[in-house]
Chain A
């Protein structure tokens, strides 16, 4: 069990007045069997003219705000305390069921779906950032020989992506298609998550996108820098029978997330979970400054450092 204090700050300097702005926020962390949000608040400047809270179709907390008078900057300060428990799968990857068994179970046979399969089917198909194409199935094929246990194969795919792709923030943007990521073999956490999801779905498996934060470790002897972190993204694959049916994998850091990943939202891909998505009228340039600080509250001496995002 670990306890974190997270600050996520976003600031837009539009350079020219924005007369009307509507924003959708995925900044409140959701509760999960292994995660509990103790407290959370969001400060927004300027004060929104209107706001509404709700849950999206994937049960993530969501908040909508609008600003109806001219403003040149927008600051959103999100601060939370979250408890994260261990959620590594209880069995070793070799003991999971063969991947084709799960694939066939998820395929429609005219019958009522078993267990959580219907819920998993939401993450089985194409979504705005994830294509389902034979190129992805072909890329993943060597990790998925006949009869291989699903989790073992998924971990092998994660190793393969981590080994063959280079972390490069300059190579891609939010809108780079995942097929292009596959060709370039470069990208950031978001790209690797989308790529891995595309591979799994192209094989007929359910995979979802998790967005949140990651504890990073300052170099030995140095203090933790405020705002040095960033939001992070990873993958969950559907393995019915294991825990709550989903196992997290982080292809950016080549590990199974445990207590150092803080989940904010879950969706089919980035489009379902974007922390701050908006439509503005007016304004000049609009590249935001984002700063995230994740601080452990009780010293949990976890090893594995990682790249983020």
Chain B
């Protein structure tokens, strides 16, 4: 047996160790887990670590901006070892957190109502009126049951004596519960037997309670179904992943401000089929951005008139608008007395010692004890990092005193916290435990019977052994939190089946116009990057085959790529072979070049990110892989053969995306628009490529019909039908007129018309007479005109020109159709409201 893991596990007398007692024994609630770990083979642990990393990457779990085209998104960091808490200890924590939620709720009710706390001097006005977070227009607004805080989170830490302390309150729109859930789904699969044997409390009940609680407060008429939505600021937000994740998990539509509209004093979701009443808004957007009419007017986010709908009690916004006020650390020192006053109870869990500099004695204390304190902003709206007093020397120290004295009420000082440490699994060593500082974020949801606390939480781990601050932004990691049960564990689950096949969970009745618009563009861009990749592959393959010589077939296909705006047009004095290679590679990899493959992929990612919650995980994995491949390839300065290999891979991903779209998505309106987007894009591409080809003088050269077939992905079909070199007539028949070739123009026209017909039935007024006529005209072409035309010799012959004109009309009709759909179904989405002011 290998040396025990404890042999080199660092002890620290200044900190509480979660796993070991002061004498170095493994604590009882860690014992079973530790024994397992200590006896696990190194390979088994390596596999577990890899499993965790792979799941995170595949599921696209990120913390930062997701949609950044250059990949600034950072993968979520998760340690395979859980943070374990014993049942009896958890009961105390849960009770204290529920009590604190109750106090904070009572504080909000008072501060936006009677203000006894201010009148009695229990709170300084500076910490209420002086905060941007105090939303004056919300004064006097009373939410149902005076429930301000529906979803509360608190950051806890354990001091060296083993007691738990409150470090910070999260009352605005607490984040992290979705990550905690994702952590659980991964780690419970890493240690499935232990998870079962240790009887770890499940999380699903908590989320069902959240669903029930939100449904319960919905102002619905008898018999009406409550309509709850999750409001996100959008993909730029650092925790957008979580918004999409939670929306899908809870079954709430994910909406942005512009998806909602207030008519009179009622809130509606703009859906494809009209306005649909919204009863509850679970917001992940900061409250001051929620209503530009009465709150911050300088932002396009938000829902104008929302506050009036809240006043009229036609909608419930949770947490209530104005709740962000209590995020200020400066308030913490006042909470114990407030708890006594409002609840008549002693506060069960202390908060880290805090001095608000706005009080003279506190300021004096801070001046005396700066070395033992960390200075923080009193108002969350101020932006500066916590500063450790002991790091401030000389002039910097004086400067800090000057700043504090100029505006004492804007600063708070907190005692340094010696966080407890927990074991994490080293990634650098074969078999080693590291000790890292750890903090725990715990969540509570309001129910008619009081606050229910999630049995678990998001454990966050510092990045270095001596770190004083835990921050996911600064490279920290996270852990799943296992609360051990001493009774029966509920095995209720909200997930319908195992991860990976959770395609579109709802029927399309509540699809917002924005979701449909984005799905339409997902369809168009999926098709666009496919055809772009195909064209570039044909060009590059010809270039490589020609071995540096400019063959007529190569010249022609290059010219077509330019006509199609996929490769930039050459300057007049530039010979065809100049910079070919460079220009082609740029057309693949340079996302800033219009029409490039990278540009289409970026656009696809952007649209897909907006509808993340509607795409299956597998679908998302493929998109993720595409983006990663592109980034990796660009860094290598690829050669032409490497570029071909890359394009092969891209086309493989493309066909899997097509598979998801065709086979795996629910047949709702969103799916129909996605497919119509694909059809429109493909038809436009086929018809315009064909038209350009017919008009291209350089196309009258040997070998061009071959690449044309390749371009249209029809070479196999052609060969199987005619075992001879291609000629114009059969090629045209296959690529334009054959109603059975899915890469032919006629097929696509008919297909699209059939789709429109079906949608017309549901949504009305979608038929397209112009496209119909263009299709008729195309079909009326007499193929006999092309019989016997020697293609290589023909120049501006009338049959080719006439056919090209008919194809032009198809292109024009399909573009008009796309615009018309956008006008009819999407237009209001792009519109941004503006503020007006009159003196």
- Across the interface, B119 reaches (CB within 8 A) one of A66, A118, A309, namely A118
The 3 nearest A-B residue pairs measured at CB:
A108-B124, A121-B125, A125-B130
A254-287 at interface with B (beta carbon < 8 Å): 268, 272, 274-283, 286
| B293: Cβ under 8 A from any A Cβ | yes
Q: Which residues of A are found within 8 Å of B414, using beta-carbon distances?
A: none
Are B126 and A108 in contact, CB atoms less than 8 angstroms apart? yes
Q: Which B positions have Cβ atoms within 8 angstroms of A?
A: 115, 118-121, 124-126, 129-130, 132, 136-137, 139-140, 261-265, 292-294, 297, 304-305, 308, 311-312, 358-360, 406-407, 828, 831, 833-839
Are B129 and A280 in contact, CB atoms less than 8 angstroms apart? no
Q: Which residues of B are found within 8 Å of A132, using beta-carbon distances?
A: 407
Name which residue of chain A comes closest to B312, CB basis.
A52
Taken together as a complex, chains A and B put the C-alpha atoms of A309 and B261 apart, in Å, by 36
Taken together as a complex, chains A and B put the C-alpha atoms of A122 and B134 apart, in Å, by 11
Are B359 and A108 in contact, CB atoms less than 8 angstroms apart? yes
Interface of B is mostly: loop
Taken together as a complex, chains A and B put the C-alpha atoms of A121 and B119 apart, in Å, by 11
The contact sample of 12 A-B pairs, CB cut-off 8 A, is A52-B311, A64-B293, A66-B264, A108-B126, A110-B359, A118-B118, A121-B118, A132-B407, A276-B838, A282-B831, A288-B838, A290-B838
Are B305 and A22 in contact, CB atoms less than 8 angstroms apart? yes
If A12-B838, A24-B293 touch, does A279 touch B264 (CB 8 Å cutoff)? no
How many A-B contacts if CB must be within 8 Å? 126
Taken together as a complex, chains A and B put the C-alpha atoms of A277 and B838 apart, in Å, by 7
Are B297 and A134 in contact, CB atoms less than 8 angstroms apart? no
Q: How far is the CB of A60 from chain B (nearest CB, A)?
A: 11
Q: Which residues of B are found within 8 Å of A146, using beta-carbon distances?
A: none
- Across the interface, B136 reaches (CB within 8 A) one of A66, A121, A174, A272, namely A272
From A20, A22, A280, residue with most partner B Cβ within 10 Å = A22
Name which residue of chain A comes closest to B835, CB basis.
A279
If A56-B137, A279-B292, A279-B304 touch, does A22 touch B262 (CB 8 Å cutoff)? yes
Q: Which A positions have Cβ atoms within 8 angstroms of B?
A: 10, 12, 20, 22, 24, 49-50, 52, 54, 56-58, 64, 66, 68, 107-113, 118, 121-122, 124-126, 132, 134, 174, 190, 230-231, 268, 272, 274-283, 286, 288, 290, 309
Taken together as a complex, chains A and B put the C-alpha atoms of A112 and B308 apart, in Å, by 33
Q: How far is the CB of A216 from chain B (nearest CB, A)?
A: 16
Q: Which residues of A are found within 8 Å of B139, using beta-carbon distances?
A: 57
Are A280 and B126 in contact, CB atoms less than 8 angstroms apart? no
Are A10 and B834 in contact, CB atoms less than 8 angstroms apart? no
Q: Which residues of A are found within 8 Å of B292, using beta-carbon distances?
A: 279
Q: Which residues of A are found within 8 Å of B406, using beta-carbon distances?
A: 134
Q: Which residues of A are found within 8 Å of B125, using beta-carbon distances?
A: 108, 113, 118, 121-122, 124-125
If A20-B261, A110-B359 touch, does A124 touch B129 (CB 8 Å cutoff)? yes
Name which residue of chain A comes closest to B379, CB basis.
A126
Name which residue of chain B comes closest to A117, CB basis.
B125
Q: Which residues of A are found within 8 Å of B140, using beta-carbon distances?
A: 57
If A108-B359, A118-B125, A282-B831 touch, does A277 touch B837 (CB 8 Å cutoff)? yes
Taken together as a complex, chains A and B put the C-alpha atoms of A113 and B125 apart, in Å, by 9
Are A174 and B837 in contact, CB atoms less than 8 angstroms apart? yes
Name which residue of chain B comes closest to A268, CB basis.
B136
Q: How far is the CB of B237 from chain A (nearest CB, A)?
A: 22
Q: How far is the CB of B126 from chain A (nearest CB, A)?
A: 6
Q: Which residues of B are found within 8 Å of A268, using beta-carbon distances?
A: 136
Q: Which residues of B are found within 8 Å of A283, using beta-carbon distances?
A: 834
- Across the interface, A24 reaches (CB within 8 A) one of B115, B136, B294, B407, namely B294
Q: Which residues of B are found within 8 Å of A272, using beta-carbon distances?
A: 136
Q: How far is the CB of A135 from chain B (nearest CB, A)?
A: 11
Q: How far is the CB of A167 from chain B (nearest CB, A)?
A: 15
If A24-B294, A50-B265 touch, does A122 touch B838 (CB 8 Å cutoff)? no
Q: How far is the CB of B383 from chain A (nearest CB, A)?
A: 15
Q: How far is the CB of B365 from chain A (nearest CB, A)?
A: 14
Q: Which residues of A are found within 8 Å of B119, using beta-carbon distances?
A: 112-113, 118
Q: Which residues of A are found within 8 Å of B126, using beta-carbon distances?
A: 108, 121, 124-125
Taken together as a complex, chains A and B put the C-alpha atoms of A272 and B41 apart, in Å, by 67
Q: Which residues of A are found within 8 Å of B835, using beta-carbon distances?
A: 277-279
Q: How far is the CB of A15 from chain B (nearest CB, A)?
A: 13
If A50-B265, A112-B120, A113-B121 touch, does A275 touch B839 (CB 8 Å cutoff)? yes
Are B263 and A68 in contact, CB atoms less than 8 angstroms apart? yes
